[in-house]
Amino acid sequence: MNILICIKQVPDMESKFKINGEGNWYDRADLAWRMNEYDEYAVEQAVRLKEQVKDADLTVLCIGPDQVTETMKKALAMGCDRGVHIADADSYKREPIEIASMIASFAKDKNFDVIFTGMQSQDRGSAQVGVMVAELLGIAAVTTIVGFAYDNGTINVKRELEGGSKALVTTTTPVVLTCQLGLNTPRYPTLPNIMKAKKKELLTLAADAGSVGSRQETAAFYFPEKKGGGIVLEGDAAELADKLIHLLKEKTGVLA
Amino acid sequence: MKTLLVAEFREGKLRVKYSQLIAFAQQQGSEASMFLVGAPGDLPQFNGPLYLADVAKYGEYNPSVHKQLLLDVIAKEQPDQIVFHHSSYGWDLAPRIAVALKAAQIAEVVAVEEGLPVVPVCNAKLRRKIKPTTAQTVLTLQAGAFGLEDDPVGTPTVVAIDADAAGKVQCTGYEAAKIEGVDLTKSEIIVSAGRGVGKPENVAMVQALAKALGGEYGASRPVVDAGWVEHNRQVGTTGSTVTPKLYVACGISGAIQHLAGMKKSEFIVAVNTDKDAPIGEVANVLVVADLKQFLPVLTEKLNAL
């Protein structure tokens, strides 16, 4: 089987964000970077599929500046066979259709049976790229999967729905599957696998934004207004506990 | 302006949140029509044209077929904007429509400011206002961001639609949510653990505080996904929506999916090391502290009362 996994490098969401000089995105300086959490589930599911069918080749693809190869190495250490880095220092500005076009133009003549990706990124969070890749390639897509089983070309997945129920969906290859948190338990790369990953092929390709132009512009980028009203308590633990208990007595009936 | 609203039908029922779509169109002062793959016996309260495909024929989840049905209506109606919920149905179908129309898609709209849609970035820590440069736009609306004051009223003018398209996937049924065990929706006091608890052993601190307050403990999604707390205690979009008298969020940053499940609680206390965490927006009291130090002290003092 020929499998593609599309991942993104994102900042740690606990970071203190600043707005960049152009005023159209967050400042990329001084941030800790990691693999988009949803994509970790995509990588893990691909590796498990290879463990099941044995004969499979896993290509991990990432678009971005050179620093994204650090994140790609984690995917290789988790078990992907090769990496394709599409070098693009402007990727942060690109909208989902542009990213999807770059992936589709890479994938179109490679006959991938399954393309795994996260259901969304933690920073942009559009939840569009995976479905758009499938539409551009003219293949099926199932989004938000929390369960996956493969048997001889037939794929059974569970889609997560609002309220906690799940839809049972059957499809066949080729297909794009977008992975939701909780699909599996992503493995931690072992030291021997981290060492092995250093020797795996990691090809860098020049970005080809293709003929798809931009369809939207960022008119403003800002921090949401604090609604305020809330009381902020700071201090040492004992003092905080006393203040909070006082507030709970005063404002709620729960300690009565 | 013309807006086409895409309503949803699932597990044999019309999804009632369609009123949020109507609220959005009203706020824009836009003429609205509606699209639904649903049942003739279960129609939305809506004054306007309703393009209705029979769910018995076209299925509840059959994206490539629903895409064709919707594209046919768009060709006829020529709407300026096509509006979905940002939901498992909407974020699955909307990009297919955007690709086909070569239209800008703007996902998870939380507000419209100066005529332009605003979306969250980085777990709602930042906001981006977007100017589409295509004539038609495809929007998905964040759950709860738009709402009507009153229940919707009206009777739609039904236009039955059909399409000849083949599906690429097959939805064979549903697996119900597990609801055995604790039912947090009935709890008056809930103390929830978030990613900030750090490791499974620390969940005990949250449980101890819940006990001291005489309530139940819950958790946000990452803690449930990690297997530290069972799923029936998950608060948020894919867990329970709760409205207790007191909600204590421990180490929960406040992802929108979590906020949607607890923001209507009567009194909210957040314990977080990050003063700027989005949970602070809904909290009545934000305790800026490391929960590992603070919770045991608070629990001890409560037990001594």
Task: Give me the CATH number covering residue A145.
Answer: 3.40.50.620
3-state secondary structure chain A: CEEEEEECEEECCCCCCCECCCCCCECCCCCCEEECHHHHHHHHHHHHHHHHHCCCEEEEEEEECCCHHHHHHHHHHHCCCEEEEEECCCHHHCCHHHHHHHHHHHHCCCCCCEEEEECCCCCCCCCCHHHHHHHHHCCEEEEEEEEEEEECCEEEEEEECHHHCEEEEEEECCEEEEECCCCCCCCCCCHHHHHHHCCCCEEEEECCCCCCCCCEEEEEEECCCCCCCCEEECCCHHHHHHHHHHHHHHHCCCCC
| pLDDT number for residue B147 | 87
**Domain presence at residue A136:** yes
Contact B298 A244 (CB under 8 A): yes
| pLDDT number for residue A227 | 65
For residue A228, pLDDT over 80 is answered with no
| pLDDT number for residue A215 | 95
pLDDT tens readout for residues A104-160 = 999 999 999 999 999 999 999 999 999 999 999 999 999 999 999 999 999 999 999
Q: How far is B270 from chain A (nearest CA, A)?
A: 10
Q: How far is B111 from chain A (nearest CA, A)?
A: 11
Mean pLDDT of chain A: 94
* From A158, A171, A254, residue closest to B169, measured CB to CB: A171
pLDDT tens readout for residues B9-20 = 999 999 988 999
**Domain presence at residue A145:** yes
A248 to chain B: which residues are within 8 Å by CB? 246, 267, 269
Q: How far is A162 from chain B (nearest CA, A)?
A: 5
Contact A141 B63 (CB under 8 A): yes
**Domain presence at residue A226:** no
* From A123, A143, A166, residue closest to B122, measured CB to CB: A123
pLDDT tens readout for residues B20-77 = 999 999 999 999 999 999 999 999 999 999 999 999 999 999 999 999 999 999 999 9
As to burial, measured by CB atoms within 10 angstroms (0-12 exposed, 13-18 middle, 19+ buried), residue B178 is exposed
Beta bridge partners of B250: B193, B271
Domains of chain B, each with CATH number or no CATH: 2-160 (3.40.50.620), 184-303 (3.40.50.1220)
* From B91, B215, B231, residue closest to A143, measured CB to CB: B91
Q: How far is B162 from chain A (nearest CA, A)?
A: 21
Amino acid at position B17, single letter = K
Cβ count within 10 A of residue A167: 23
Contact A240 B287 (CB under 8 A): yes
Q: How far is A205 from chain B (nearest CA, A)?
A: 25
Contact A131 B10 (CB under 8 A): no
As to burial, measured by CB atoms within 10 angstroms (0-12 exposed, 13-18 middle, 19+ buried), residue A163 is middle
Q: How many residues does chain B have?
A: 305
CA distance B150 to B135: 32
Contact B169 A170 (CB under 8 A): yes
Read off the tokens for A121: 């990124």
Query: DSSP letters along B15-38, please?
Result: -TTHHHHHHHHHHHT-EEEEEEEE
Q: How confident is the model at residue A253 (pLDDT cuts 50, 70, 90)?
A: confident
CA distance B218 to B183: 10
* From B130, B174, B305, residue closest to A167, measured CB to CB: B174
pLDDT tens readout for residues A68-109 = 999 999 999 999 999 999 999 999 999 999 999 999 999 999
Contact B122 A13 (CB under 8 A): yes
Contact B169 A13 (CB under 8 A): no
pLDDT tens readout for residues A7-33 = 999 999 888 899 999 999 999 999 999
Pair B190, B242: CB distance under 8 Å: yes
B95 to chain A: which residues are within 8 Å by CB? 96, 127-128, 131-132, 135
Read off the tokens for B212: 């001291």
CA distance B19 to B7: 9
B129 to chain A: which residues are within 8 Å by CB? 218-222
- Our count of domains for chain A comes to 1
Q: How far is A201 from chain B (nearest CA, A)?
A: 32
For residue A63, pLDDT over 90 is answered with yes
Give this prediction's pTM.
Answer: 0.89
Q: Which of A20, A93, A126 to mutate to test the interface with B (most CBs of B within 10 A)?
A: A126
For residue B212, pLDDT over 80 is answered with yes
As to burial, measured by CB atoms within 10 angstroms (0-12 exposed, 13-18 middle, 19+ buried), residue A134 is buried
CA distance A113 to A111: 6
- Parallel, antiparallel, or unpaired for β B81-85 and B2-6? parallel
* From B92, B132, B301, residue closest to A143, measured CB to CB: B92
**Domain presence at residue A252:** no
pLDDT tens readout for residues B259-279 = 989 999 999 999 999 988 889
Share of chain B above pLDDT 90, in %: 83
**Domain presence at residue A232:** no
| pLDDT number for residue A229 | 67
| pLDDT number for residue B16 | 86
Residue of A nearest to B285 (CA): A231
For residue B179, pLDDT over 70 is answered with no
Residue of A nearest to B273 (CA): A234
* From B225, B267, B287, residue closest to A181, measured CB to CB: B225
For residue A211, pLDDT over 80 is answered with no
**Domain presence at residue A242:** no
Read off the tokens for A12: 């740690």
For residue B286, pLDDT over 70 is answered with yes
* Among B79, B123, B136, B84, CA closest to B107: B84
CA distance B234 to B222: 9
**Domain presence at residue A120:** yes
Overall average pLDDT of the B183-197 stretch: 93
Cβ count within 10 A of residue B244: 25
ipTM above 0.95, yes or no: no
Q: Which of A9, A165, A218, A236 to mutate to test the interface with B (most CBs of B within 10 A)?
A: A165
**Domain presence at residue A34:** yes
Pair A36, A122: CB distance under 8 Å: yes
Overall average pLDDT of the B232-255 stretch: 93
Q: Which residue has the higher pLDDT, A213 or A30?
A: A30
A125 to chain B: which residues are within 8 Å by CB? 107-108, 119-123
Mapped onto helix, strand or coil, the DSSP state of residue B137 is strand
Contact B172 A170 (CB under 8 A): yes
Domain of A79, in residue numbers: 2-206
Overall average pLDDT of the B176-204 stretch: 89
Beta bridge partners of A233: B287
Pair B189, B216: CB distance under 8 Å: yes
Q: Which residue has the higher pLDDT, A127 or A164?
A: A127
Q: How far is A111 from chain B (nearest CA, A)?
A: 17
Q: Which helix (H) or strand (E) is B68 found in, with range? A: helix B63-77
Q: Which of A223, A233, A246 to mutate to test the interface with B (most CBs of B within 10 A)?
A: A233
Overall average pLDDT of the B220-236 stretch: 92
Per DSSP, helices labelled H in B179-290 are 203-213, 221-225, 256-262
Backbone angles phi, psi at B163, to 5 degrees: -150, 155
Contact B107 A139 (CB under 8 A): no
